[in-house]
Amino acid sequence: MSRFIDRVVLHVTAGKGGNGCSSVHREKFKPLGGPDGGNGGRGGGVIFVVDRSVHTLLDFHFNSHAKGTNGTQGMGGNREGANGDDLILKVPDGTVVLDKDGRILADMTGEGTRFDAAPGGRGGLGNAALASKARKAPGFALLGEDGIERDLILELKSVADVGLVGFPSAGKSSLVSVLSAAKPKIADYPFTTLVPNLGVVSSGDTTLTVADVPGLIPGASEGRGLGLEFLRHIERCAVLAHVVDCATLDPGRDPVSDVDALEAELAAYKPALSGDASLGDLADRPRIVVLNKADIPEAAELAEMVTPEFEARGWQVFTISAISREGLKPLIFALAKMVEDYRVAHPPAEPRRAVLRPVPRNEDGFQVVKDPDVPGGFIVLGTRPERWVAQTQFSNDEAVGYLADRLARLGVEAALIKLGAEPGASVTIGTVSFDWEPMTPSGVEVTRTGRGTDARLDQVDRIGADERKHARRVRRGLDTEE
């Protein structure tokens, strides 16, 4: 049995960028061929695309993890690694993408609308791209970046052209079943539908969809019952139809009070999207009133009595019976006319163009703050420093020296000195912590040494962190001098 899913939590992970390659060209009679390591490939991203053939989020309910493929590593001979394949996820028209805090990231309306949910990681540069006057043949390459990983909430808001609203057991599901080929659950005892029932109705050349929106009771706009879960499905409905039970045996209810109670809930409900699809507030949406169960004599009399009051509000009123199918044709024609008028006034939404806000390449923003957990320690915050650290292979001294040069040119070392950082202070950038050594000259021409080494890193005579830790253990009697 097919399930209707309108809200899912999806864990998306973009592919990792491929590592750069460290290679030197080797050819007969050319012993100094120079670096020829290629760049790593870009990781595949995760992209949402609106597809009108998709009507539910059911696939994401059973497959809650989505991941793009990784880029491959660069190769010698200046050959770049292959880019990872983007993962294209098809979503229904009207899907809203939110982050885990409930902030709206994208309102996806219109066939073909795309949203880049998780960009893939950039590939690392090979040593051919890192060659410079100071490093003519780098013995290292940069690592690829990890792809974006995040939890997203997908909500489906657009369901039908006509939304049927009414109290439980008013006959909404029965009406959907006789207007279309849908077969919702119907019973002869009071209960409420647990999922929206969709039906397709044809009237001449007009085809429209009708949805039974369940669970509307007084207090639904405040989360009472199931109303709040499904009220979002009528945010984009062109027409709202009040289905009224004229044969209810509840002494405290009548058709007018039922409609008034539901109108109060519709007016109190605030759509999550401001200016949702240019339809305005629910209180301003076109309405009709459907007086149901006219096959019962007492109900037919009551419907005749209340019809003038609803017509005085400017609403069309139709008296029907979902059981005997009395009055259905005029209702179908009226709904088709209202939906057609809406479509003329609101043509199909065009795919929204992606708005690109690129960050300038020369942006050098960063911030140095004191580490609250480490006395005398500091934390360097900033996109560029954190990215550079993640790209560095710390087992390669030459790569570490290159990182030191980049941070010095950015101004990180000067900022640490200004804040009073002492030699050996703990400095954390991203997920890496190290002992800061201000005496290491950086930004100057590198003394030529073996590939993968940096002579500057061997000029430090200060006791390292491991030796200081060993000395503390000796003083406490936890270790021996050896």
pLDDT, one tens digit per residue, over 156-210 is 875 578 888 888 777 777 887 888 765 555 545 444 555 566 777 888 788 888 8
Confidence band, pLDDT 50/70/90 cuts, at residue 4: low
Amino acid at 389: V
Average pLDDT, the chain: 79
Decide which of 131 and 249 is more confident. 131
Range among 65-69, 286-290, 464-468 with highest mean pLDDT value: 65-69
pLDDT, residue 424, reads: 81
pTM for the full model?
0.67
Cβ distance 244 to 305 under 8 Å? Answer: no
Strands ordered across the beta sheet of 114-118: 87-91, 46-50, 114-118
The single residue listed with the structure tokens 């050959």 is 79
Distance, CA of 471 to CA of 146 (rounded, Å):
38
Cβ distance 435 to 466 under 8 Å? Answer: no
Confidence band, pLDDT 50/70/90 cuts, at residue 52: confident
At residue 223, does pLDDT exceed 50?
no
DSSP per-residue letters across 21-78: ---B--BTTBTT--B-PPPPPPPP-EEEEE-TT---SHHHHH--EEEPPPPPPPBTTT
Q: Which residues contact 5 (CB under 8 A, 6 or more apart)?
A: 56, 57, 58, 60, 61, 156
Percent of the chain with pLDDT over 70: 77
Confidence band, pLDDT 50/70/90 cuts, at residue 103: confident
Count other C-beta atoms under 10 Å from residue 124's C-beta: 29
Cβ distance 243 to 213 under 8 Å? Answer: no
pLDDT tens, residue by residue, 318-349: 998 888 888 888 888 998 888 888 878 777 65
Cβ distance 108 to 54 under 8 Å? Answer: no
- Of 13, 151, 11, whose CA–CA distance to 84 is shortest? 13
Confidence band, pLDDT 50/70/90 cuts, at residue 405: confident
Distance, CA of 237 to CA of 229 (rounded, Å):
16
